[in-house]
Amino acid sequence: MNLATDGVTSASAPRLQIRGSRFVDPQGRHVLLHGINVVNKNRHEGYVVDEGPGLYARLRDWGFNVIRLGVIWDGLEPEPGTYNEAYLKRLDEQIDWARAYGLLVFLDMHQDLYSVLYSDGAPAWATLTGGAPHVDLGGVWSDAYFTSPAVQAALDSFWADAPAADGIGIQEHYVRAWAHLARRYAQESAIIGFDIMNEPFPGSAAARIQEQMFAKGAELIAAMGLPFEGTPFPTTADASPVESLAEQWLTPSGRSAILGLLRDADLYAQVVDATEPLYAEFEATSLMPMVHRVAEAIRATGSKQALFLETTMGSNMGVRSAIVPVELAGRRDPAQVYAPHGYDLVVDTPDIAQASPERVAFIFRRHGETADRLDMPMLVGEWGAYGDQPGTLPAAWHVVQQFEALLCSETYWTYQSSIQRFPCFQAIQRPYPERVAGTLQHYAYNPASGIFQANWREDGQIATPTRVYLPDWYALDDSGITVSPAGSGITFVETLPGSGNRYLEISPTGGSCNRTLIIRRSEL
């Protein structure tokens, strides 16, 4: 199934295909998609990152080949059934610039806390709460999924397809909005697909999820003989262990202490697994039916771009997902991408540099298991969120190692104008094999040694070169490059004239064989 452009500058360029669990270009090369989110949640700025075409030139120069471009429902459909053409034209402009610089795009219908009334996403007219109050206790923004009756009621209304003021269900409005987007971009060569909903979340079921999580946590803490010196448990004298733990979770010191106890992946697995049945019920009874409705609407427009399937927000932290492939008219849709997010629980906290390698490895191991079950390419739609926090580079490199092990694609959260100065930027702008003349089997970059290695099974029918991105900070000369078998040679191609960032292109041997590339930084 054709998806989008080959990462070059022509709008008529060849297209990508989905082949099993891989992205493949028309020449047969295995493609890794490496990119970044470009999302503006600010209503006063029109929900668009407005930095002109130069933004996309920079993104391409940094080695990215794909953009997760945010669409905000409030911007798209400000009134029921009325689509904002001015907003759409600004999206058109962003997509045109991306195409001009050889960047692929998938559209992300973004929401956080469901609604523009609480964060971003649904318009006010589609936020039906029955008068429930919004409770935000501060701290981590996502806690409001569990603390706010208004957020929970609004989500319940969406999943139930409660009618808007015009008598049409709000979920039906969402489906029609997606159809409007898909119809507009069905023939757009730069767009590879549609991310149906960012981090879908149950509504009032959050209370049961939280109860199960804290009950298991309290059980484990009791089994360890806590409280002990240095931990803040318990707090309220008359509180039950579960209530005490919930209180602590909503304080910075308490959250930090709890996460310290759960560095052990086995203990952590017990906590997240306690919530799995409730998340699975939501995915089966609410999420997947909505996804199928949107998929049918998209396919009815003639669009053949990929459906990007997200899991519940709980899966971001390691809850095993129960999502299933989309089937339409009794047949599995041929263009689907598994698009989970991957965050340790320290995300959006002052402790983000202290991400647990054990928890992170567990989270991505779970994603790999789901990708294998689904048998589709995996693109991690969000990871990182490190901002300009000091000390985050080791944590970022650890996540990158998970991508290397899984051979998956990804888009970093998120672009900011100062991102090049972030301590973690080196791990974001890193060496990687963008296109391989056959099947990629392994690759890894060791930041300590400066050694990059890739192994692939070369296909003798492929005449186009393998291509590896090398950032300007990765200094080398020809003597630091070893390719076996040698083939007919290597060349360097600049991403942009004079930038210092470049692609290493390795000519094929003309036969089927196993090949190895080793690169050593020259300053080492």
- Please report which helix (H) or strand (E) contains residue 212, including its range: helix 206-223
pLDDT at 368 over 90: yes
Alpha-carbon dihedral sign for residues 156, 158, 159, 163: positive
Of 126-140, 221-235, 397-411, minimum mean pLDDT range: 221-235
Sheet holding 336-338, edge to edge: 336-338, 306-309, 191-195, 104-110, 66-72, 34-38, 409-412, 379-380
For residues 517 and 437, the answer to whether their CB atoms sit within 8 Å is no
Domains in the chain, ordered, with CATH? 2-430 (3.20.20.80), 432-524 (2.60.40)
For residues 159 and 181, the answer to whether their CB atoms sit within 8 Å is no
| Residue labelled with tokens 């590879």 | 192
Which of the four pLDDT bands, split at 50, 70 and 90, describes residue 12? Answer: very low
Would you state the pLDDT for residue 15? 72
475-504 pLDDT, tens per residue? 887 789 999 999 889 999 999 999 999 999
Q: Taking residues 61-77, what's their average pLDDT?
A: 98
Q: Which of 133, 135, 132, 114 is nearest to 123 (CA)?
A: 114
pLDDT at 5 over 60: no
Side-chain half-sphere of 511: how many Cα atoms within 13 Å? 7
Mean pLDDT of the chain: 93
282-310 pLDDT, tens per residue? 999 999 999 999 999 999 999 999 999 99
Total count of residues recorded for the chain:
524
Q: How far apart are the first and last CA of the chain?
A: 44
pLDDT at 468 over 90: yes
151-185 pLDDT, tens per residue? 999 999 999 999 999 999 999 999 999 999 999 99
Of 176-190, 262-276, 398-412, 436-450, minimum mean pLDDT range: 262-276
| Residue labelled with tokens 């649904």 | 122
Q: How far apart are CA 421 and CA 371, in angstroms?
A: 34
Vertex 366: Cα angle to 353 and 452 (nearest 5): 60
pLDDT at 257 over 70: yes
Would you state the pLDDT for residue 252? 81
Segment of 54-58, 225-229, 246-250 carrying the highest mean pLDDT: 54-58
Q: How far apart are CA 109 and CA 178, in angstroms?
A: 9
Which of the four pLDDT bands, split at 50, 70 and 90, describes residue 3? Answer: low
109-128 pLDDT, tens per residue? 999 999 999 999 999 999 99
Would you state the pLDDT for residue 1? 55
Would you state the pLDDT for residue 457? 98
127/262: higher pLDDT: 127
